[in-house]
Amino acid sequence: MTARAIDEPHRAASQLELLFDLTFVVAVAAVTAQFAHTIADGHALTGLVPFLLIFFAVWWAWMNFTWFASAYDTDDVAYRLLTMVQMAGVLVIAAGAPAAVDDSDYRAVTIGYFIMRIALVAQWLRAGTENPAGRRTAFRYAGGIAILQAGWILRLVLAETDALPSSAQVPSFVGLAILELAVPLWAERPSPTNWHPHHIAERYGLFTLILFGESVLAASNGVRGALDAGKISGPLVIIAVSGLVLLFALWWLYFLAPAGEGLNDRRHLSYLWGYGHYGVFTALAALGAGLEVAVEQTGHDLKASPLAICYAVAIPTGIFVVLLWMVHTPILAEAVIRPAVVLWSVAAVLLLPLAAPQIGVVAVIAAIAAVCVLMVAVTITPKAQATAMTPITEQTMSDR
């Protein structure tokens, strides 16, 4: 297991990585579904904390595997088997999501996370043993992750024995999560790992597509619920189409500029870019839950108010746009989305739900989608004009 070259040509996601991502489809679907239920029941704020905690476990486990694979993917038997162990851990996390949200029972989530992380420790130990150049960094990763897994297990034991008060469970989770985030910063001080910028950009793009797919699935679940209730109506069609258009617009914004070149030129900003995606990914997952509830309310009487339902869509949309601009702008030679466009778009999105009591949920969701479509149009129109003018200019210069 030797480090792969950072400029390896034609580096792309492997078949094993794609299979690995499929297990996260299940985990994200489980987390999103539980959050949607809490929103529909009128307890969005109560369900927000477990949603953020569980999604952190899912995201951090995925992210650590992705960056390790970018540097040390050997695709041999040992590597494949340890990766499959991590897949099993993801499925355990997914199975434990309902209990964590409904009963604050994090046993299955913690055990699933432990399985994933211990398998990654084995990967780092192998890398340190077989790659002398990166040995110190690899062993630092292995030691830091292993120590923190002991901390997660200790937290679980204390919670099960009531030695850890319920009021201290969230702060203890946050404290351990901060230490988890600090491990890469500490481990790579001796020497950074050989991650491939274009490979990393592709892997993040693939996970983004998974989250968009989950939003489509969540919205379709709401449509199916309305169909099962026999309530097909104009508002159902409008809100379903609006949700789909909204997702199309956000997808367009995310993939406006390739991140691989930016990461290649500004590797020192990789932590900002990589860590910042927690907010981007979380916003997309939360948006899926909000869209499911928004569609569902056209055929059912929900406990959630129209204002709460609209904000369950508006807030994730606004967060996604702001954080997308924040993580992509520093690594690009030229900003793709202008700050003024971000400002007025997000302001409009966050103000529209206030009109929900007067114009209804359907009209607000349609308006939010329209704002995002307008944002895309404003952003790409100058580029389209420049592209269209280039051949004419070149031809003119050639004639001269």
Using one digit for the tens of pLDDT, what is the confidence trace for 250-274? 999 999 888 888 999 899 999 999 9
Does residue 389 carry a pLDDT above 80?
Answer: no
Using one digit for the tens of pLDDT, what is the confidence trace for 320-348? 999 999 998 898 877 788 899 999 999 99
Question: Higher pLDDT residue, 227 or 257?
Answer: 257
259 and 123 inside one domain = no
State the average pLDDT over residues 150-160.
93
190 and 217 inside one domain = no
165 and 310 inside one domain = no
230 and 355 inside one domain = yes
Using one digit for the tens of pLDDT, what is the confidence trace for 19-33? 999 999 888 988 998
pLDDT of residue 97: 86
130 and 202 inside one domain = no
Distance (Å, whole) CA 24 – CA 153: 23
Question: Higher pLDDT residue, 100 or 203?
Answer: 203
Domain membership of residue 398 (yes or no) is no
Domain membership of residue 1 (yes or no) is no
136 and 222 inside one domain = no
Q: Which of 140, 171, 195 is the last residue of a domain?
A: 195
Domain membership of residue 81 (yes or no) is yes
Using one digit for the tens of pLDDT, what is the confidence trace for 181-218? 999 999 999 899 999 999 999 999 999 999 998 888 87
State the average pLDDT over residues 351-365.
92
Does residue 227 carry a pLDDT above 90?
Answer: no
At 180, list the tokens: 């988890």
Domain membership of residue 65 (yes or no) is yes
pLDDT of residue 332: 86
Does residue 358 carry a pLDDT above 50?
Answer: yes
Distance (Å, whole) CA 293 – CA 309: 7
Q: Which of 170, 195, 220 is the last residue of a domain?
A: 195
Confidence of residue 390 (pLDDT cuts 50, 70, 90): very low
Domain membership of residue 3 (yes or no) is no
pLDDT of residue 222: 66
State the average pLDDT over residues 374-393.
62
pLDDT of residue 103: 81
Q: Which of 175, 195, 215 is the last residue of a domain?
A: 195
Does residue 14 carry a pLDDT above 80?
Answer: yes
188 and 268 inside one domain = no
Domain membership of residue 215 (yes or no) is yes
187 and 204 inside one domain = no
Domain membership of residue 169 (yes or no) is yes
Question: Higher pLDDT residue, 399 or 202?
Answer: 202
174 and 218 inside one domain = no
Does residue 229 carry a pLDDT above 80?
Answer: no
Q: What is the 3-state secondary structure (H, E, C) of the chain?
A: CCCCCCCCCCCCCCHHHHHHHHHHHHHHHHHHHHHHHHHHCCCHHHHHHHHHHHHHHHHHHHHHHHHHHHHHCCCCHHHHHHHHHHHHHHHHHHHHHHHHHHHCCCHHHHHHHHHHHHHHHHHHHHHHHHCHHHHHHHHHHHHHHHHHHHHHHHHHHHHHCCCCCHHHHHHHHHHHHHHHHHHHHHHCCCCCCCCCHHHHHHHHHHHHHHHHHHHHHHHHHHHHHHHHCCCCCHHHHHHHHHHHHHHHHHHHHHCCCCHHHHHHHCHHHHHHHHHHHHHHHHHHHHHHHHHHHHHHCCCCCCCCCHHHHHHHHHHHHHHHHHHHHHHHHHHCCCCCCCHHHHHHHHHHHHHHHHHHHHHCHHHHHHHHHHHHHHHHHHHHHHHHHHHHHHHHHHHHHHHC
Q: Are 72 and 123 in contact (CB under 8 A)?
A: yes
State the average pLDDT over residues 163-181.
92
131 and 207 inside one domain = no
Q: Evaluate if pTM is beyond 0.85.
A: yes
Based on the structure, what is the number of domains in the chain?
2
Question: Higher pLDDT residue, 296 or 233?
Answer: 296
Confidence of residue 16 (pLDDT cuts 50, 70, 90): very high
326 and 337 inside one domain = yes
- Which range is least confidently modeled, 9-18, 81-90, 181-190, 219-228? 219-228
Domain extent, residue 84, equals: 11-195
Question: Higher pLDDT residue, 382 or 88?
Answer: 88
Using one digit for the tens of pLDDT, what is the confidence trace for 305-322? 999 999 999 999 999 999
pLDDT of residue 393: 36
Mean pLDDT across the chain: 88
State the average pLDDT over residues 231-243.
81
Does residue 386 carry a pLDDT above 50?
Answer: no
Domain membership of residue 399 (yes or no) is no
183 and 313 inside one domain = no
